Amino acid sequence: MISVVIPTLTVRKAWLERCLYAYEQTLREVPHETIVITDRPACGVAWNEGIEQAKGNYIHLSADDLEPLPGWQYPAMESADNGELPAARILNTDGTLQSCGTDHLEHGEGEEAFVARIPFATREQFDLIGPMMNEQYMGDYWFSHRGRQVGLKSVVRRDYCFFHHYAQEGRIDTLSADVRAYKKRGGE
């Protein structure tokens, strides 16, 4: 079973509905549970709360402005089963590339990545990686950093693919402070 954890804010109801619909459509044939965490002070806090509640043998940390593309779960599960962290291919709303693994360039299937955006792993891998940072941003970097520390490399999985709509309602700008917190904790 896949546990999908989605942080959201009350003001982002329309984005959440779109996100939930996409997950229900893409996960019809896969046992799953959806855990929605509303109005927490930061994404990391909500992700940690969701991880604690998750009952699945796979855990997927998402966001309310993400929309998975069909088949996303299969390369993610395959990577996790192979002891890897899948690095997503992420598209902007208009279909242009936002990132593929580490940066904004297209990278090949299986290429090693510095960051596994949109975290996905087995329950055992999450137990090794430990809790996410409690901040709003840098959670995917922390996930990847901790993964490397316990021997899990991040690899590009091109079909682990999502639209990221960058919803602005309720978005807070804590990126600079979150980068400092990441580095203070030993992030690379």
186: alpha, beta or left? (left if phi > 0; alpha if psi -120 to 50): left
Cβ-contact 96, 40 below 8 angstroms: no
pTM here?
0.93
H or E segment and range at residue 182: helix 175-184
Any idea which residue has 């901040």 for tokens?
Answer: 135
Instruction: Go through the domains of the chain in sequence order and give each one's CATH number.
Output: 2-184 (3.90.550.10)
Any idea which residue has 């390369």 for tokens?
Answer: 75
pLDDT tens track, the chain, 188 positions = 999 999 999 998 999 999 999 999 999 999 999 999 999 988 899 999 999 999 999 999 999 999 999 999 999 999 999 999 999 999 999 999 999 998 999 999 999 999 999 999 999 999 999 999 888 778 899 999 999 999 999 999 999 999 999 766 666 676 677 667 777 778 77
Query: Residue 93: what pLDDT?
Result: 95
- Report the 10 Å Cβ neighbour count for 149: 13
